Amino acid sequence: MPRFAANLHYLFNEFPFLDRFAAAADAGFRAVEAQVPYDWPAAELARRLEANGLEMVLIDTLQGDWDRGERGLAALPGREAEFRAAITRAIEYASALRCHCVHVIAGTVPDGADRDAMRKTYLANLAHAAEAFAPHGVAAVIEPINPHMGVVADGEQYTTYGMRGFYLTSTAQAQAAVAAVGHPNLHLHLDVYHMQLTEGRLSDTLRAALARREGPGQLRHLQVSSVPGRNEPDGGEINYPYLFDLIDALGFDGWVGCEYRPRAGTLEGLGWAKPYGIGPGAAR
């Protein structure tokens, strides 16, 4: 059965951030993800995880100046020192939170950018991240994101429909980057929502990604939401019950992050998750 993690920037935002850990546990989640945990002390986040019997399964590297439209540093020439500092910070948080997966977020393409320079910078930075994380038991993962949409107008910070002008936009591009770097600690993180918007062929792509069991490029993390809308994975263009059965049959043993915007309340929208032991009162 797939293992689902609550994304604490999208779900349970009826509560202050630190109270979302308890809310997720009460609903039956055993894991959470938070792309940007750095606004809170790592020790406090670790305490919330332990108190609620939760595992932190994914965080992101620092994203740069969010308010100026930055969405990561890995592919930005001239920002290497800042990127390396972000890797050090990610290691500190991942170690404190016992999180074994960090998304090394690529960034957006500036106007007039030299794409070849961006590619060289990206590959060098990925190699650095994969090597730096390895002694700590942390996997570096990269995620293609649709470049056509932006922030959620009525959402909280770090909730988006996409990242306009994002550098890494397809599974094939991500796989090519992993192959070019060739480091055994660099892997894939796929979001089915973004896959549907940019490339489709979901089951074929997942089959191919899950066929790799060893070495670089393994699929380490998945995320889900509906298309259109980025809401609960219970309708729209994507047949999620089929995909959940498929990844089960293919032996995916990573976490599936619930990175979606509830249409109403978080608990009210968890009907889709009842067959998987998640929903109001599930923890009891």
Residue 50 known to be catalytic? no
Q: Is the pLDDT of residue 284 over 90?
A: no
Average pLDDT, the chain: 95
* pLDDT on residue 283: 60
Residue of 33, 70, 232, 259 with catalytic role: 259
Domain count, the chain: 1
Q: Is the pLDDT of residue 117 over 80?
A: yes
284, part of any domain = no
193, part of any domain = yes
Reported as a single tens digit per residue, the pLDDT across 168-206 is 999 999 999 999 999 999 999 999 999 999 999 999 999
* pLDDT on residue 156: 86
Reported as a single tens digit per residue, the pLDDT across 84-102 is 999 999 999 999 999 999 9
282, part of any domain = no
281, part of any domain = no
147, part of any domain = yes
283, part of any domain = no
* pLDDT on residue 119: 97
Residue of 33, 70, 143, 232 with catalytic role: 143
10, part of any domain = yes
Residue 44 known to be catalytic? no
What percent of the chain has pLDDT above 70? Answer: 99
Q: Is the pLDDT of residue 135 over 70?
A: yes
Assign residue 255 the CATH number of its domain: 3.20.20.150
* pLDDT on residue 48: 98
* pLDDT on residue 154: 81
The reported pTM is 0.95
The secondary structure of the chain, three-state, reads CCEEEEECCCCCCCCCHHHHHHHHHHCCCCEEECCCCCCCCHHHHHHHHHHCCCEEEEEECCCCCHHHCCCECCCCCCCHHHHHHHHHHHHHHHHHHCCCEEECCECECCCCCCHHHHHHHHHHHHHHHHHHHHHHCCEEEECCCCCCCCECCCCCCCCECCCCCECCCCHHHHHHHHHHHCCCCEEEEEEHHHHHHHCCCHHHHHHHHHCCCCCCCCEEEEEECCCCCCCCCCCCCCCHHHHHHHHHHCCCCCEEEECCCCCCCCHHHHHHHHHHCCCCCCCC
> By residue range, what is the domain housing residue 193?
3-276
